[in-house]
């Protein structure tokens, strides 16, 4: 197979342009590294823009008053949104959690500005198809864009793919399955704000769907709908499906099944829920929201006791303040609260599968058991672990992992909360 294009040479290649990838790229660039940020879609933002998940969780702890636990690059993103006129004030949820609602289009614009200003090389419409090297040290990424194939050569690599895709390309035999239900999000427009509705109405819509189609709605409570204050639309999570793996046939089956359910359920919402009589399905996705299908064990995974006991660690490189939120099957959500509505430390070793390797894990690809994963995967914490992975990658050299104290010191200098 011939590659006619010259390779791109950088110090740090970050794969995936979601919260973790953007934070890794900006953190590494602030250390003086030459950075490429590689993203399969035509914009940054990851699940927030790719899958239409319109809220940042994890910037704040749960409880009466929100306490901010993520700053650094995450804060710079909030500041950039605010500069575009976006409200970033945390909003209380009935669960006791706090979220920041997102306009995906403003988020794309804010991230474009930050990535450009940091001097990061953006590679959009670019998918990494293979990673090459010797042993646990990698030096080349095989990338595919609409023009064909080319290579990116890098001293350090960051897996910010959201589902440990880079680790899977590097070590397929080391991957372990992790089943979390996938959700197709949607935006519904044309809500009548004057008509109040409640959980009973949504349950009635779910029952109506079952009666019409002969199939139960996985979210038997009718789903989760968040009005978007800047429009007459709401962000809807109403369709859960099982996704065994990320092969094209499995993804095709899940995407088509989910879209079909979304369109069918819309009819029940219009019939049964006050204020929904004229709603339109403005957009689905654009892509299915994938929580996890696989993971890799790291040097030191975040674990359930970190969450339940709000543990602090001397080797902490990020804080996580979101409860362990699991979606073990379609329609099922479980919460594992952090003790005292507090936060816990993510250990440095969670960012690396091998202590002497040059592949770093970030965001929802870091090492964590199932319950800790339910916490660290959310986007607030993904900014924090991505920031740490980018700094650690930039401060490392071949065969020498950046010392913990240097990483912690640099993160604090860059505004992170440890
Ligand atoms: C349905 C659903 C609802 C959720 N709700 C919330 C919520 O309300 N709030 C919250 O904070 N979190 C929520 N989460 C969790 C959160 O969205 C993710 O865990 C988080 O986005 C992880 O961030 P990340 O940067 O690690 O990965 P992602 O946001 O997944 O970004 C990964 C990026 O990598 C790119 N990519 C992947 N593989 C490649 C490749 N080989 N080459 C190039 N690019 C690649 C993808 O296109 C993507 O843009 C939800 C998740 C889902 C699925």
Ligand 1: atom nearest CA of 50 is 49
Return the H-helix or E-strand segment holding 243: none
Please tell me the distance between residue 282's alpha carbon and the centre of ligand 1 in angstroms: 21
User: What value does the mean pLDDT take over residues 301-308?
Assistant: 98
Identify the band that residue 16 occupies on the pLDDT scale cut at 50, 70 and 90.
very high
Nearest CA to 226 among 218, 217, 236, 216?
236
What pLDDT is stored for residue 411 in this prediction?
98
Answer whether 0.75 is exceeded by the pTM.
yes
Please tell me the distance between residue 53's alpha carbon and the centre of ligand 1 in angstroms: 9
Q: Buried (b) or exposed (e) across 88-111, using 16+ Cβ within 10 A?
A: bebeeeeeebbbbbbbbeebbebb
Per cent of the chain over pLDDT 90 is: 94
Closest residue to atom 34 of ligand 1, CA basis: 16
pLDDT digits (tens, 9 = 90+) for 235-270: 999 999 999 999 999 999 999 999 999 999 999 999
Please tell me the distance between residue 123's alpha carbon and the centre of ligand 1 in angstroms: 18
Name the E strands within 31-189. Answer: 35-38, 55-57, 91-92, 98-101, 121-123, 127-134, 137-145, 148-159, 176-177, 182-189
Ligand 1: atom nearest CA of 44 is 49
Please tell me the distance between residue 162's alpha carbon and the centre of ligand 1 in angstroms: 5
What pLDDT is stored for residue 85 in this prediction?
97
Identify the band that residue 179 occupies on the pLDDT scale cut at 50, 70 and 90.
confident
If one residue of 46, 150, 291 were mutated to test the ligand 1 pocket, choosing by the most ligand atoms within 8 A of its CB, it would be 46
Please tell me the distance between residue 262's alpha carbon and the centre of ligand 1 in angstroms: 21
pLDDT higher than threshold 90 for residue 8: yes
Average pLDDT of the chain, as a whole number: 96
Ligand 1: atom nearest CA of 363 is 26
pLDDT digits (tens, 9 = 90+) for 321-333: 999 999 988 888 8
Identify the band that residue 2 occupies on the pLDDT scale cut at 50, 70 and 90.
low
Please tell me the distance between residue 57's alpha carbon and the centre of ligand 1 in angstroms: 12
Ligand 1: atom nearest CA of 23 is 25
User: What value does the mean pLDDT take over residues 178-184?
Assistant: 93
pLDDT digits (tens, 9 = 90+) for 54-108: 999 999 999 999 999 999 999 999 999 999 999 999 999 988 999 999 999 999 9
If one residue of 145, 161, 251 were mutated to test the ligand 1 pocket, choosing by the most ligand atoms within 8 A of its CB, it would be 161
pLDDT digits (tens, 9 = 90+) for 134-167: 988 999 999 999 999 999 999 999 999 999 999 9
Please tell me the distance between residue 373's alpha carbon and the centre of ligand 1 in angstroms: 13
What pLDDT is stored for residue 398 in this prediction?
85
CB under 6 Å to ligand 1: residues?
Answer: 15-21, 38-41, 46-47, 50-51, 53, 55-58, 127-128, 160-162, 165, 183, 185, 289-291, 363-365, 377-380, 382
pLDDT higher than threshold 80 for residue 183: yes
Closest residue to atom 47 of ligand 1, CA basis: 40
User: What value does the mean pLDDT take over residues 183-203?
Assistant: 95
Dist CA 270 CA 134 (whole Å): 58
* Residue 172 to residues 137, 176, 182, 273, 372, Cα–Cα distance (Å): 15, 9, 22, 47, 23
If one residue of 162, 175, 179, 361 were mutated to test the ligand 1 pocket, choosing by the most ligand atoms within 8 A of its CB, it would be 162
pLDDT higher than threshold 70 for residue 51: yes
Ligand 1: atom nearest CA of 185 is 1
Nearest CA to 87 among 230, 231, 226?
230
What pLDDT is stored for residue 329 in this prediction?
85
What pLDDT is stored for residue 1 in this prediction?
56
Task: Check residue 213 and report its DSSP letter.
Answer: H
Please tell me the distance between residue 94's alpha carbon and the centre of ligand 1 in angstroms: 24
User: What value does the mean pLDDT take over residues 333-345?
Assistant: 96
Dist CA 34 CA 235 (whole Å): 37
Strand partners, 240: 183
User: What value does the mean pLDDT take over residues 373-379?
Assistant: 98
Closest residue to atom 49 of ligand 1, CA basis: 46
């Amino acid at each position: 197979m011939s590659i006619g294009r010259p390779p791109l040479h950088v110090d740090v290649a970050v794969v995936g342009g979601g919260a973790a990838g953007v934070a890794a790229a900006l953190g590494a660039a602030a250390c003086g590294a030459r950075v490429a940020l590689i993203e399969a879609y035509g914009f940054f933002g990851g699940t927030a823009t790719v899958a239409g998940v319109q809220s940042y969780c994890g910037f704040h702890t749960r409880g009466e008053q929100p306490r901010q636990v993520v700053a650094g690059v995450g804060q710079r993103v909030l500041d950039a949104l605010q500069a575009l006129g976006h409200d970033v004030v945390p909003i209380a949820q009935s669960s006791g959690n706090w979220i920041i609602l997102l306009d995906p289009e403003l988020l794309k614009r804010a991230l474009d500005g930050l990535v450009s200003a940091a001097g990061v090389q953006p590679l959009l419409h670019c998918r990494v198809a293979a990673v090459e090297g010797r042993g646990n040290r990698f030096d080349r990424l095989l990338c595919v864009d609409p023009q064909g194939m080319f290579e990116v050569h890098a001293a350090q690599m960051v897996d910010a793919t959201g589902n440990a895709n880079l680790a899977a390309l590097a070590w397929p035999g080391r991957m372990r399955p992790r089943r979390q239900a996938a959700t197709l999000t949607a935006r519904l427009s044309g809500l009548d704000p004057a008509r109040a509705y409640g959980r009973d109405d949504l349950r009635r819509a779910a029952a109506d769907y079952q009666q019409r189609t002969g199939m139960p709605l996985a979210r038997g409570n009718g789903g989760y709908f968040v009005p978007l204050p800047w429009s007459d639309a709401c962000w809807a999570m109403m369709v859960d499906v099982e996704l065994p793996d990320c092969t094209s046939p499995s993804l095709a089956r899940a995407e088509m099944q989910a879209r079909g359910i979304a369109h069918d359920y819309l009819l029940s919402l219009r019939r049964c829920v006050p204020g929904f009589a004229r709603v339109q399905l403005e957009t689905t996705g654009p892509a299915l929201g994938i929580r996890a299908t696989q993971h890799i064990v790291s040097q030191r995974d975040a674990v359930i006791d970190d969450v339940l006991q709000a543990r602090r660690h001397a080797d902490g490189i990020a804080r996580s303040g979101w409860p362990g939120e699991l979606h073990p099957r379609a329609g099922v959500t479980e919460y594992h609260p952090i003790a005292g509505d507090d936060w816990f430390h993510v250990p440095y070793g969670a960012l690396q599968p091998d202590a002497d390797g040059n592949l770093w894990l970030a965001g929802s690809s870091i090492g964590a058991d199932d319950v800790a994963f339910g916490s660290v995967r959310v986007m607030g914490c993904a900014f924090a672990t991505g920031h740490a992975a980018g700094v650690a990658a930039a401060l490392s050299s071949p065969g020498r992992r950046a010392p913990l104290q240097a990483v912690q010191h640099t993160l604090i200098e860059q505004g992170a909360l440890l």
